[in-house]
Amino acid sequence: MNQKHINELIDTALAIEAEDAKHAGALGFMARVLAQVTLPYRAQPDNEFTRRNAALELTVVSPKSVGLPYGSYPRLLLSWVTTEAVRTRSPVLELGPTLSAFMAELGLIPSGGKEGTIPRLRNQTERLFSSSISCRYKDEAHTKGGP
């Protein structure tokens, strides 16, 4: 097999995989910025968090009474919001008829109690959607930014 044939096989396999993911509804989206800089992975003592990657800066500010979002749930929520907006092409997102149905869509198994998924998702949802997120790109030649 020559290199051209191998490359064609790889391209075909990748195209099939992408089409299968799209057909199965398993294709997800995430804002480019959040692939480079993202939310904190553990609880933060302050109500402002900044992460930098070279010239890119992400800042998250939340009310002190609520706290900053952290961990995997806010990232999962942001991915769902982005994917739904792309999929439906609508600014209105339908969460579903119940919290359990929404959690199933996120791939979470609803469980109660102090360490259960339900209170954790509720808490992180409030933290995420109470926060202001802004990003800024600054280098010697360019400065861009916005909420």
Q: What is the pTM of this model?
A: 0.72
Angle between helix 117-129 and helix 72-88 axes, rounded to 10 deg: 70
- State the pairing for strand pair 48-53/132-138: unpaired
Nearest Cα to Cα of residue 73 among 125, 143, 131: 125
Return all residues near 23 (Cβ < 8 A) that are at least 6 apart.
none
Per-residue pLDDT tens listing for the chain (147 residues): 667 767 776 776 666 655 544 554 555 666 666 767 788 999 999 999 999 888 889 899 999 999 999 999 999 998 888 888 888 899 899 888 999 999 998 889 999 898 899 999 999 999 999 999 998 888 767 655 665
Amino acid, single-letter form, for residue 13: A
Quickly tell me which residue has 């998924």 as its tokens.
117
Nearest-angstrom CA–CA distance, 139 and 48 = 23
